[in-house]
Amino acid sequence: MSANDDLATLVMSVGPTASVYLDTTSATTDPRGQIDLRWKNARRHLEDAGADAATLDAMEATVAESHGGGDALAMFATGGSVLHHSRWPDAPIEDLARWAPLASVGPIIAWRQSMAPHLVVQVDRVGADMVVFRSGEPEVEAEVSGDDLHVQRSAPGGWSQRRFQQRAENQWESNAGEVADHLVELFDMASARLVVVSGDVRARQFLKESLPARVLDVLEEVDGGREEEADERIAEETGRLLATAVASDTVALLAKFREERGQDDRSSDGVPATVEALQRAQVETLLVGDDPADDRSLWFGPDGVHLAMDPETLAELGVTSPQEGRLP
């Protein structure tokens, strides 16, 4: 199952769909009142576009139950039921309310791309705290603990002190191996794009020595330990590193597109050529820009390859009731 299978289900739903993105920022004197006002404006717009009362009532109930958890609310509904709703950390540039044959999933895809799966690890001599972040899914938390030898580094001196210190570091290394095993398991489960490690410098070193190359390739280190007061600083640095990683991926993808644009068998540019490639199911990666002011449309049918510039083409493919939908 891919990360956006739930959105594919939305797009393939039968009947017109209400798509709503609301700014639910709480940093105001009256956040609840502001959210209610935004929803009333969205509801009025959907009513004017022809949305039915049952669908709007279902969405209104979802808005009423949404408190905290992010600065944006995304909702999709049809036939009196909410098909999807989720909260996101960043408010939309502007509220959106649309009643159309296709769900408007562009903004939510953009949000998900900005929140690539990543893993945050805080290590010390005993073990580690690990959290997996994946867009649209609950966080996965894990704690790994080994045997604590009550290590206390004192001033160097004496054979017994050096022996105790060596035993301590041997235990640290053993604990790091256990942490590494669990980290790799979570890394593979989440298909993580980034791993951020903080904590004791020596423990970090032991951990890195136990990790495979595929994890080390996306690992970044930041200052801070397992203490609670370090969490905010680590979160801010993780956000910066994640944004850098996502931007790097985008730049690499666009560079590949430019390189292959001159090869007709490798890439397509522009709506007509891209539609033709989609009809042939020959698209591996689709690059789109969701411009709210862009009112161009395409015609579509019940299957993914039923896409055309005009309804006549779909009729030739056997589609009896083609529908018109907005790009992208």
Query: Cα–Cα distance between 181 and 59 in angstroms, integer?
Result: 44
Single pTM value for the model:
0.74
CATH 3.30.420.60 residue ranges of the chain are: 116-251
Do 269 and 240 form a contact (C-beta atoms < 8 A)?
Answer: no
Query: Cα–Cα distance between 300 and 102 in angstroms, integer?
Result: 10
CATH T-level topology, domain 116-251 = Nucleotidyltransferase; domain 5 (3.30.420)
Of 82-86, 122-126, 145-149, the one with minimum mean pLDDT is 145-149
Segment holding 194, helix H or strand E: strand 194-199
CATH 3.30.960 residue ranges of the chain are: 1-114
CA atoms within a 13 Å half-sphere pointing along the CA-CB vector of 295 = 1
- Is the predicted pLDDT of residue 153 greater than 60, yes or no? no
Q: What is the pLDDT of residue 227?
A: 65
- Is the predicted pLDDT of residue 48 greater than 90, yes or no? yes
- Mean per-residue pLDDT for 53-72? 87
Residue 135 pLDDT class (50, 70, 90 cuts): confident
- Is the predicted pLDDT of residue 194 greater than 60, yes or no? yes
- Mean per-residue pLDDT for 14-20? 89
Q: What is the pLDDT of residues 76-110, one digit of tens each?
A: 999 999 999 988 877 787 899 999 998 988 888 88
Q: Starting at the edge strand that comes first in sequence, how are the strands of the sheet with 323-326 ordered?
A: 307-308, 297-300, 323-326
Q: What is the pLDDT of residue 107?
A: 87
Q: What percent of the chain has pLDDT over 70?
A: 85
- Is the predicted pLDDT of residue 160 greater than 50, yes or no? no
Residue with token string 């808005």: 63
Q: What is the pLDDT of residue 279?
A: 86
Q: What is the pLDDT of residue 81?
A: 94
Q: What is the pLDDT of residues 284-316, one digit of tens each?
A: 888 888 777 788 888 988 887 888 999 999 998
Q: What is the pLDDT of residue 44?
A: 97
**Widest Cα–Cα separation across the chain:** 90
- Mean per-residue pLDDT for 45-65? 95
Give CATH for domain 1-114. 3.30.960
Q: What is the pLDDT of residue 87?
A: 86
For residue 281, CA distances in Å to 104, 254, 305 come to 22, 21, 7
Q: What percent of the chain has pLDDT over 90?
A: 36
Residue 161 pLDDT class (50, 70, 90 cuts): very low
Q: What is the pLDDT of residue 79?
A: 93
